[in-house]
């Protein structure tokens, strides 16, 4: 229990009167990659968005139950959502750089959180974040060009750089490669593997090969319920539940 980073306990989510998640409990370890898989509409993205309270943006969404991050309850009115989100970065399905320069995209987080005192420090953070996201060499000569001018894969790495610039401990990735071609996907997957050394990563994915390649733990969701969770190796070779078996062998979903 000591190194569990996120501890979810019977989380229910309702969209209006429709229940989307049913009593999800989960234990996510530090500095591991956890993959959430399952057919469309099974609630995996909804669960991911509970962890950084992104569901607050949806007026009709109600979350109950308990999620603890570093033993701090976050499903509570008293939670400081802003500092929670600065601790938990997020990468979205579609690359969504701001319509600003590459530099300003990465500098955005450190600036609003007051992490830097001088221009040099800011430059330092921007450069190192871009390096960690494996993008620096490709863009170092054009940091003043708009972020939207990059290719899709580069944009997604820019978004990763933007997320890690505020020095988070956890990174949530919501199908980060679904809008990318196979080469860009491979680059991102490699990057995830490197980031694992420093960050706890939770990734929602539709691609089972991707889950198998990048994750250590896998959780299988179906119709709002968590069916099975365990070591990725085990889930993909010898799952306990027949539904999981059916899904990964392609019999449904």
Partner 1 sequence: MFFWSLVLIAVGIFSSFIYGRSRIKLNSKKQGTKSKSLPNYYAQYVLMWCLFPALIVYFSWAIFQEQIIQNIVISNFEYIEGAVYNEGLLLAEIRNVANNPSFADGKSIEIINAASHYSSLRQISQISFYTSIIIIMLLGALYASQKLKPEFHAQHTIEKYIQYILIFCSSVAIFTTIGIVFSLIFESLRFFAEVSIFEFLFSTEWYPFIPIREGQTAAEGSFGAVPIFAGTFLVMVVAMCVAAPLGLLTAIYLAEYASQRVRKIVKPLLEILAGIPTIVYGFFAFVSVAPFVKAFGQSIGIDASPTSALAAGMVMGVMIIPFISSLSDDVINSVPQSLREASLGIGANKAETIKKVILPAALPGIVGAFLLAISRAIGETMIVVVAAGTAPNLTGNPFENVTTVTVQIVVALIGDQEFDNPRTLSAFALGLVLFVITLFLNIIALQIVKRYRERYE
Please, which residue, 62 or 113, has the CB nearer to partner 1? 113
Which of 82, 194, 209, 251 binds partner 1 (CB under 8 A)? It is 82
Number of chain residues interacting with partner 1 (CB under 8 A): 27
Q: Which stretch binds partner 1 (CB under 8 A): 53-61, 208-216, 218-226, 230-238?
A: 53-61
Token duo for residue 223? 């119709």
Please, which residue, 63 or 226, has the CB nearer to partner 1? 63
Q: Which stretch binds partner 1 (CB under 8 A): 67-75, 126-134, 155-163, 192-200?
A: 155-163
Which of 100, 127, 196, 206 binds partner 1 (CB under 8 A)? It is 100
Around 99, how many Cα atoms within 13 Å sit in the side-chain half-sphere? 0
Please, which residue, 166 or 211, has the CB nearer to partner 1? 166
Shortest distance in whole angstroms from residue 94 CB to partner 1: 6
Q: Are 20 and 43 in contact (CB under 8 A)?
A: yes
Q: Which stretch binds partner 1 (CB under 8 A): 107-115, 183-191, 196-204, 231-239?
A: 107-115
- Three-state DSSP at 190 gives helix
Shortest distance in whole angstroms from residue 109 CB to partner 1: 4
Shortest distance in whole angstroms from residue 251 CB to partner 1: 34
HEC string of 12-72? EEEECCEEEEEEEEEEEECCCEEEEECCCCCCHHHHHHHHCCHHHHCCCEEEEEEEEECCE
CA-based nearest residue to 196, from 177, 174, 169, 233: 169
- What dihedral do alpha carbons 38, 153, 84, 86 form, nearest 10°? 170
User: Quick check: 14 binds partner 1 (CB under 8 A)?
Assistant: no
Please, which residue, 158 or 208, has the CB nearer to partner 1? 158
- Cα→Cα distances 116→22, 122, 143, 163, Å: 42, 6, 19, 16
User: Quick check: 130 binds partner 1 (CB under 8 A)?
Assistant: no
Which of 38, 43, 109, 176 binds partner 1 (CB under 8 A)? It is 109
- Three-state DSSP at 167 gives coil
User: Quick check: 112 binds partner 1 (CB under 8 A)?
Assistant: yes
User: Quick check: 167 binds partner 1 (CB under 8 A)?
Assistant: no
CA-based nearest residue to 92, from 13, 180, 12: 180
First to last CA, the chain: 33
**Contacting positions for partner 1 (CB under 8 A):** 52, 54, 57, 59, 82-87, 89-90, 92, 94, 96-100, 108-109, 112-113, 159, 162-163, 166
């Amino acid at each position: 229990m000591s190194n569990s980073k996120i501890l979810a306990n019977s989380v229910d989510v309702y969209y209006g009167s429709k229940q989307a998640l049913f009593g999800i409990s989960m234990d996510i370890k530090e500095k591991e990659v956890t993959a959430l898989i399952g057919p469309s509409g099974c609630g995996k993205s909804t669960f991911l968005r509970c962890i950084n309270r992104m569901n607050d943006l949806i007026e009709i969404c109600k979350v109950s139950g308990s999620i603890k991050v570093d033993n701090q309850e976050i499903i509570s009115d008293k939670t400081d959502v802003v500092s929670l989100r600065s601790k938990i970065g997020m990468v979205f399905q579609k690359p969504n750089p701001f319509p600003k320069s590459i530099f300003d995209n990465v500098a955005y987080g450190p600036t609003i959180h007051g992490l830097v005192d001088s221009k040099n420090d800011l430059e330092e953070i921007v450069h190192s974040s871009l390096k960690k996201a494996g993008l620096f060499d490709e863009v170092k000569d054009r940091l003043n060009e708009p972020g939207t001018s990059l290719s899709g894969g580069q944009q997604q790495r820019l978004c990763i750089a933007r997320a890690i610039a505020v020095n988070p401990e956890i990174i949530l990735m919501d199908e980060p490669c679904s809008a990318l071609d196979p080469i860009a996907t491979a680059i991102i997957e490699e990057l995830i593997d490197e980031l694992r050394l420093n960050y706890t990563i939770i990734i929602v994915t539709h691609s089972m090969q991707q889950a198998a390649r990048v994750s250590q733990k896998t959780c299988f969701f179906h119709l709002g319920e968590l069916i099975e969770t365990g070591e990725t190796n085990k889930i993909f070779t010898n799952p306990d539940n027949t539904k999981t078996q059916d899904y990964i062998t392609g019999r449904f979903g």
